[in-house]
């Protein structure tokens, strides 16, 4: 079976391929000649994941899956959420996003947050959704150099370090994306 992962992130692509058995071949957008920039115009993570997955199946005809992720901060009523990548405005900039979030939380005691990933799978004319959540808290300052996005200021529950200090294998076991992809992988293995 061939399945397109609607992402341009080669690290995500490699990670998912390693989790799947050899009977499922994961293709990138580049592999199918897709260089479209699908605008994420929905107001939910699920909506954006569906938008990207639907684009691939409608335009290219491949079974596929897509994801969208957001950081949801409790005291900010779930913000930045679906707008996480552009929280500080255009163009998207992780450093500016982190600084804006730290500034908004500077006088707040409640620093509870969660990363949430929605994955949409289009397979055999049906659509399936998978979700992964990693609860934690926003640190008061950046910690670590690994990862991307908000990783340097997010400390997962039960740990005394940020995502940006963890190696990829350790992070993937507990991360929002890792959990959602593990659910997808389990579904695909059971479905065969």
Taking each helix axis from N to C end, the angle separating 10-19 and 176-191, rounded to the nearest 10 degrees, works out to 40
What letter would DSSP give residue 163? G
> Which two three-digit tokens encode residue 26?
């994961």
Torsion over CA: 181, 95, 157, 165 (sign): positive
Q: Which of 165, 148, 160 is nearest to 71 (CA)?
A: 148
Max Cα separation, the chain?
52
CA 84, chain centre distance (Å): 11
Which active-site residues does the annotation give?
68
Residue with tokens 């947050």: 113
């Amino acid at each position: 079976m061939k399945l397109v992962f609607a992402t341009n992130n080669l690290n995500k692509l490699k990670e998912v391929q390693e989790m799947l058995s050899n009977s499922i071949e994961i293709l990138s957008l580049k592999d199918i000649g897709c260089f479209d920039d699908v605008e994420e115009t929905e107001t939910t993570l699920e909506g954006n994941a569906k938008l990207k997955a639907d684009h691939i199946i409608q335009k290219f005809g491949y079974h596929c899956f897509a994801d969208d992720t957001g950081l949801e901060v409790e005291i900010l009523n779930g913000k930045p959420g679906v707008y996480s990548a552009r929280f500080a405005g255009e163009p998207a900039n992780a450093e500016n996003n982190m600084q804006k979030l730290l500034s908004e939380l500077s006088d707040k005691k409640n620093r509870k947050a969660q990363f949430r990933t929605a994955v949409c799978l289009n397979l055999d004319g049906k659509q399936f959704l998978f979700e992964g959540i990693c609860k934690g808290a926003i640190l008061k300052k950046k910690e670590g150099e690994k990862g991307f996005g908000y990783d340097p200021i997010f400390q997962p529950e039960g740990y005394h370090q940020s995502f940006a200090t963890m190696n990829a294998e350790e992070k993937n076991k507990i991360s929002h994306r890792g959990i959602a992809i593990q659910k997808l992988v389990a579904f695909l293995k059971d479905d065969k």
